Amino acid sequence: MNHLAPRMVLATLTLAISGVVMAAQAGSAATAAKPNVAVHAAASFDSPTVTTLQRNGAVTITGQQGLWFKVTVAGGKSGFVRVNEVRVAYGKSDNGGIGAALFTGQGGQGRTTETASVRGLDESKLKAASFDAAQLERMESYRVSAADAQRAAERNHWVATSVPFASEFKTSQNENQAQASNSRSSSRSSSRTGLRALGGALSSFLPGSSSGVANAAANHSDAIVGKSDAEVLQEELELGPMIAGRVLGAAPLVNDPAMQRRVNLIGRWLASQTSRPDLPWTFGVIDDGEVNAFAAPGGYILITRGLYDLLSSDAEVAAVLGHELSHVVQRDHYEVIRKQELQAAGREAVMSQVNTGGGIAGSMARDFIERNGAAIMMTQLDRNAEYRADQAAGIYLARGGFNPLELYAVLQKMSSLGSSSSRMAGLYKTHPPLDKRLDALDKSGYKDLQAYLDR
């Protein structure tokens, strides 16, 4: 068998050379996103400038150190640039660019195994999934208190900071009693007036309907649109577990208690910095290989194993959770369900001219979840809601003691996976293109957050 030795040696050498080539090619193409970008010798603004790039100057990203990318420029020089000073090109394959070089869980905490499917949770799977009470109970068992999160923040030196947010969502429950009463009264009045003045809005659901039926539909809708904050909150608290339990029926939690506790501590700390800190905030990582996250009403947030594995630090985990927190705070998915209630109210009026009252609005919402399962999580939200969630994530990060640029870094890494990546199919279906989201963050210029960009 000695005659095989030369072949084995040759094969070994070939593999070794191939490995060197692959290592040399590892990286992701990017271009300078500003008129002048200084490439520093180290990941610090105080380090010497190696070279200066002009806008659209080409670089290759070969690594990441915090909020700095390590880059190679023309002529072989290397150095560091901030994550928002270059724009990563969309990757051409699932395994290229930063997807291979940087998505390695550099934080070293809670890395998961590669056992889950990468096909992702599409709409049909989420609609067909059964409610998994045991998994929901397990998810809720990892819930932590605000005090637990505060202690974790102290251990990790996450310092709470007061940062204003002009467009922050507030319920009237956060106002004084008089303001709350006036708000509810005004809401009901304006809702009824608006619906009757815009009869055509409901008519679109009721083609050819008579004026009597249209009025019945408007009356029925009053019970939905005119809910008090207390009624809305109660529905959120009921619908959230219904939806989360069905997501868990499609993809169970990763069996890693340390990981689950980690996301709950980070998430609960960041939730304490929102305008709705008292929701029963609950977080979990589900065993699915696609890159995605889900925010159900009432404070239930799930991220996939595929997304978790891309995140290299607690701060990047916080960035992802911050975006999802905004969807809950703003009631984005709840409002999707409410629109379905409006449509159902119109159909009910056509079929039976039913009277309002008796809690039918709430039952419609529950019936919608029963019929559609967790597929509501794959509903495309208004694009402005996604841009707003990105903005809010920056605010919550700053309030929680993190750098607002952490979300920018995550979006850059996600871009490198590729615009046609199978791992990103669900996210691309429900979110604006990543480059558009980065454009929106660039346009905002992180106004009011400049003081926190050097953390």
Cα angle at 325 between 320 and 330, to 5 degrees?
A: 135
Selection from 270, 263, 260 nearest residue 150 by Cα: 270
Kind of pairing, strands 68-73 and 36-40? unpaired
d(CA 452, CA 455): 6
Q: Is residue 282 part of a domain?
A: yes
Q: Are residues 80 and 117 in the same domain?
A: no
Q: Are residues 69 and 120 in the same domain?
A: no
Distances (CA, A) of 422 to 30, 121, 291, 410: 22, 11, 9, 18
Q: Is residue 10 part of a domain?
A: no
Domain boundary among 56, 89, 122: 89
Q: Are residues 439 and 333 in the same domain?
A: yes
Q: How confident is the model at residue 270 (pLDDT cuts 50, 70, 90)?
A: very high
Instruction: Please state which of the ranges 49-53, 152-156, 342-346, 393-397 shows the lowest mean pLDDT.
Output: 342-346
Q: Is residue 19 part of a domain?
A: no
The domain that holds 78 is classified in CATH as 2.30.30.40
Q: Is residue 3 part of a domain?
A: no
With a cut of 60, say whether residue 76 has pLDDT above it: yes
Q: Which residue has the tokens 């979006």?
A: 411
Instruction: Please state which of the ranges 211-220, 284-293, 333-342 shows the lowest mean pLDDT.
Output: 211-220
Q: How confident is the model at residue 92 (pLDDT cuts 50, 70, 90)?
A: low
Kind of pairing, strands 49-54 and 300-304? unpaired
With a cut of 50, say whether residue 356 has pLDDT above it: no
Query: Range of 45's domain?
Result: 28-89
pLDDT tens readout for residues 157-205 = 999 999 999 888 887 654 333 333 333 333 333 333 333 333 343 344 3
Q: Is residue 11 part of a domain?
A: no
Q: Is residue 81 part of a domain?
A: yes
Please tell me which residue, 371 or 132, carries the higher pLDDT value: 132
Average pLDDT over residues 259-273: 98
Q: Are residues 320 and 448 in the same domain?
A: yes
Is residue 365 within 8 Å of 240, Cβ to Cβ?
no
Q: Are residues 67 and 199 in the same domain?
A: no
pLDDT tens readout for residues 285-313 = 999 888 889 999 999 999 999 999 999 99
Q: Is residue 382 part of a domain?
A: yes
Number of independent structural domains in the chain:
2
Write a three-state SS string for the chain: CHHHHHHHHHHHHHHHHHHHHHHHHCCEEEEECCCEEEEECCCCCCCCEEEEEECCCEEEEEEEECCEEEEEECCCCEEEEECCCEEECCCCCCCCCHHHHCCCCCCCCCCCCCCCCCCCCCHHHHHHCCCCHHHHHHHHHCCCCHHHHHHHHHHHCCCCCCCCCCCCCCCHHHCCHHHHHHHHHHHHHHHHHHHHHCHHHHHCCCCCCCHHHHHHHHHHHHHHHCCCHHHHHHHHHHHHHHHHHHHHHHCCECCCHHHHHHHHHHHHHHHCCCCCCCCCCEEEEECCCCCCEEEECCCEEEEEHHHHCCCCCHHHHHHHHHHHHHHHHCCHHHHHHHHHHHHHHHHHHHHHCCCCCCCHHHHHHHHHHHHHHHHHHHCCCCHHHHHHHHHHHHHHHHHCCCCCHHHHHHHHHHHCCCCCCHHHHHHHHHCCCHHHHHHHHHHHCCCCCHHHCCC
Q: Are residues 41 and 164 in the same domain?
A: no
Q: Which residues pair with 39 in a beta bridge?
A: 51
Is residue 250 within 8 Å of 374, Cβ to Cβ?
yes
